[in-house]
Amino acid sequence: KPRVFSAMQPTSDSLHLGNYLGALVNWVALQDDYDALYGVVDLHALTVAPEPALLRERTRRTAAQFLAAGVDPERSLVFVQSHVPEHAELAWLLSTFTGFGEASRMTQFKDKSAKVGESGTNVGLFTYPVLMAADILLYDTNLVPVGEDQRQHLELSRDLAERLNTRLGEGSAVVPEPYIVKETAKIYDLQEPTKKMSKSASNGKGLIEILEEPKKVAKAIKSAVTDLDTEIRFDRETKPGVSSLLSIYSAIDGRSIDQARRGLPGQDVRPPQGGPGRCGGRLPHPDPRQRDGVDRVARRLDTVLDEGAQKASAIARGTLERLYDRVGLLKPQ
């Protein structure tokens, strides 16, 4: 079977709708036909200096949400990145194949470091895409289901794989393909509908967390920023807020944008009252059973993560040994 790898950072208590629709839904769908590995990438999360106890807690919670969403540990490996030391080892090797200018072009680093300023940023945030390439190439991954925001990082992973094959010989690395589903590749922040919904960058009101109480989700959707006219129409340029709500509606409900548009009665959009328009629609919320799911699987979690790490590590060791040999590192006797 061809291989799938993808991962999420344990940077919040709950995943949000962007993580869910942009990635997790596809993880679940792909596990039937692919040999899938899904990681909680805690080493990546270190780039934002999380509080230690919180990081540990969120690592387990993130893994639990994978399972609650339908990732099946019988078919897919679920593991924590730091439990498989080969990730950090390959990242070092790949960093010696990555141009400084090449790494400097990564827009996520520019965005994230702009927020904290040069003194607040760190080298780990800069080399983040190299560690991500290691995550992917370590498993000879064919397909990487991610959101649109990861496209550039994926491109770097592909370039690095090709470079390994050129410099170290064919068969050094598998060149991974992105798997990005257009309709759900970018879910927007409810308060700033031109920005992506984000665990670390969105404030509470702009996020739909999948573990949130349905009532609060409904409230967040009702107070989503729309615009100053009453027309419901999909137009990303001039009506980003309305378009974003239509995308979410259509993605959750399985209707086309046009069906979604007609499903929202006109009277639900209230005229502006001295501020941005508010859409009081009837948008559905994510399945509340996910809440129970998290509790239900908590007990199984340690076993799943243990087994996942052991099996992942066995695959990863093979790849690392192949590359260590090709670059000329002396094999220990």
For ligand ATP, the binding residues in 135-164 under the rule CB under 6 A are: 146-147, 149-150
Q: Single out the segment in contact with ligand ATP by CB under 6 A; choices: 96-104, 115-123, 190-198, 259-267.
A: 190-198
Other C-beta atoms lying within 10 Å of the C-beta of residue 58: 22
Residue 249 is encoded by which pair of tokens? 């509606």
Candidate residues 59, 98, 191, 198; the one interacting with ligand ATP per rule CB under 6 A: 198
- Given phi > 0 = left and psi -120 to 50 = alpha, else beta, which region is 244? alpha
* 8 marked ligand binding residue: no
Interface with ligand ATP, residue 127, by CB under 6 A: no
Interface with ligand ATP, residue 50, by CB under 6 A: no
> Mind telling me the catalytic residues?
112, 196, 199
The DSSP element (H or E) to which 67 belongs, if any, is helix 52-68
Closest C-alpha among 1, 24, 328, 324 to residue 140: 1
Sign of CA dihedral 59, 62, 67, 71: negative
Candidate residues 4, 23, 28, 130; the one interacting with ligand ATP per rule CB under 6 A: 23
Is 172 or 202 the residue whose CB approaches ligand ATP more closely?
202
- φ, ψ dihedrals at 171, nearest 5°: 85, 5
Candidate residues 186, 239, 278, 285; the one interacting with ligand ATP per rule CB under 6 A: 186
Is 103 or 201 the residue whose CB approaches ligand ATP more closely?
201
* 10 marked ligand binding residue: yes
Q: CB–CB of 172/165 below 8 Å?
A: yes
Is 6 or 172 the residue whose CB approaches ligand ATP more closely?
6
Interface with ligand ATP, residue 9, by CB under 6 A: yes
Q: CA dist 217 to 7, 58, 87, Å?
A: 25, 21, 36
* 258 marked ligand binding residue: no
Interface with ligand ATP, residue 65, by CB under 6 A: no
Report d(CA 272, CA 10) in Å as an integer.
38
The DSSP element (H or E) to which 205 belongs, if any, is none
Task: Classify 196 as helix, strand or coil.
Answer: strand
Interface with ligand ATP, residue 59, by CB under 6 A: no
Is 142 or 150 the residue whose CB approaches ligand ATP more closely?
150
Residue 103 is encoded by which pair of tokens? 């790494």
* 147 marked ligand binding residue: yes
User: Which spans of this chain sit near ligand ATP (rule: CB under 6 A)?
Assistant: 8-9, 11, 18-19, 22-23, 146-147, 149-150, 185-187, 196-201
Binding site as annotated, residues: 9-11, 18-19, 135, 147-149, 187, 196-200
Which residues are annotated as part of the binding site for L-tryptophan?
A: 135
